[in-house]
């Protein structure tokens, strides 16, 4: 059954089609005969119980520089005229992002929103993961310089990162001498009102940071992301590279622990990050990536698996 699919994402002319997961999902949907519409989160409107947006009917093709064609924009009622909304705009997870989840929550009883907007709001990457602290490296969430110093003294080397950061941005390693820790916490406190995440540094990150994708709570595939030269960050967005990988017994244990909760929350497309085959660091639910690299190394059609799951849910 052809579906009407509204894709809430960033401007299409700014994406890298070679690795963009949303673009891969759009190509897969189009191949199944689904009709695609593109809109931006800031174009949402609500009145008298109805949520609508100005949206462009769009077709996509894997041709760099000529990868999409817009038709004239239309007023699209997301509650009555769309079967599926893909909420795929990139963070920052700010008030604009949060407001979009509140608005989309008002149609979730009629239209399937992927991922569930209320659960995306309630499960930010570095907060939701705290529910699984037994799988995490030693972790501190704080704004306190004194607490950060005590944590550094206990663990020798640490990593400091913003609680709602993304794509490997603003991640700093601090050595055992604590050089620049006070200045770093000062800058973080001036930049962000929320606390920050501090973790024990894991030397195993030099061997990679594994991205594991789960679809409706089941493992769909994984890649190992290696840091670039002179880097501790392995995110592909900051110069990391990907390689084929297999899951360890510990990683399978982590996935089995997470799967039922992800499924119950309506978090259909999730990417988790695991270092050293055992340390869970993030549960990515806002706009997970990695499916193009997984298909390149394993031949697994993760986009197809996601659409299989969506189609099952829409038919219910």
Is the separation of the CB atoms in 214 and 263 below 8 Å?
A: no
What are the pLDDT digits (tens) for 247-267? Answer: 999 999 999 999 999 999 999
54 is catalytic: no
The position carrying tokens 């891969």 is: 24
pLDDT at 12: 96
Give the C-alpha separation, 234 to 108, whole Å.
35
Give the chain's radius of gyration (CA, Å).
20
Please pick, among 126, 166, 235, 265, the residue that the annotation labels catalytic.
Answer: 126
pTM over 0.95: no
Does 161 participate in catalysis according to the annotation?
yes
Is residue 233 annotated as part of the catalytic site, yes or no?
A: yes
Query: Which residue has 């990683």 as its token pair?
Result: 251
**Is 273 annotated in the active site?**
yes
211 is catalytic: yes
Helix or strand or coil: residue 251? helix
Candidates 161, 209, 216, 224; catalytic one: 161
Q: Supply the pLDDT for residue 234.
A: 61
Active site residue 296: no
**Known catalytic residue at 216:** no
**What three-state secondary structure class fits 48?**
coil
Marked catalytic residue, from 88, 121, 233, 265: 233
pLDDT at 233: 61
**Catalytic, out of 211, 235, 251, 265:** 211
DSSP track, 44-90: EEEETTEEEEEEEEEEE-S-TT--EEE---EEEETTTT-SEEEE-PP
Sites in the chain below the pLDDT cut of 50 = none
Please confirm, yes or no, whether 50 is among the known catalytic residues: no
Q: CA-CA distance, 270 to 282, in Å (whole number)? A: 10
d(CA 277, CA 251): 6
Q: Are 224 and 243 in contact (CB under 8 A)?
A: yes
């Amino acid at each position: 059954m052809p579906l009407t699919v509204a894709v809430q994402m960033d401007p299409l002319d700014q994406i890298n089609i070679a690795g963009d997961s949303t673009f891969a999902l759009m190509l897969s949907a189009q191949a199944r005969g689904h009709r695609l519409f593109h809109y931006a989160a800031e174009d949402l409107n609500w009145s008298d119980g109805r949520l609508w947006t100005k949206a462009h009917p769009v077709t996509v093709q894997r041709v760099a520089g000529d990868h999409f064609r817009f038709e004239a924009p239309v007023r699209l009622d997301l509650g009555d005229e769309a079967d599926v909304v893909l909420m795929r705009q990139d963070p920052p997870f700010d008030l604009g992002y949060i407001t979009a989840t509140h608005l989309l929550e008002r149609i979730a009883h009629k239209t399937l929103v992927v991922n569930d907007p209320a659960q995306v709001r309630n499960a930010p990457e570095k907060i939701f993961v705290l529910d699984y602290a037994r799988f995490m490296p030693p972790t501190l969430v704080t704004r306190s310089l004194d607490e950060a110093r005590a944590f550094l003294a206990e663990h020798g080397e640490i990593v400091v990162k913003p609680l709602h950061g993304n794509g490997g941005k603003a991640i700093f390693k601090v050595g055992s001498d604590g050089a620049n820790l006070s200045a770093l916490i000062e800058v973080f406190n001036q930049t962000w009102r929320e606390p920050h995440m501090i973790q024990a540094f894991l030397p195993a990150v030099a061997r990679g940071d594994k991205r594991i994708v789960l679809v409706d709570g089941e493992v769909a595939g994984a890649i190992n992301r290696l840091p670039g030269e002179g880097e501790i960050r392995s995110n592909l967005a900051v110069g990391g590279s990907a390689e084929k990988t297999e899951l360890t017994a510990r990683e399978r244990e982590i996935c089995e622990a997470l799967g039922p909760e992800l499924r119950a929350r309506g978090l259909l497309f999730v990417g988790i990050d695991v270092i050293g085959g055992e340390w869970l660091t993030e549960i990515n639910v806002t706009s997970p990536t990695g499916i193009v690299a997984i298909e390149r190394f394993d031949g697994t059609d993760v986009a197809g698996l996601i659409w299989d799951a969506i189609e099952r849910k829409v038919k219910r």
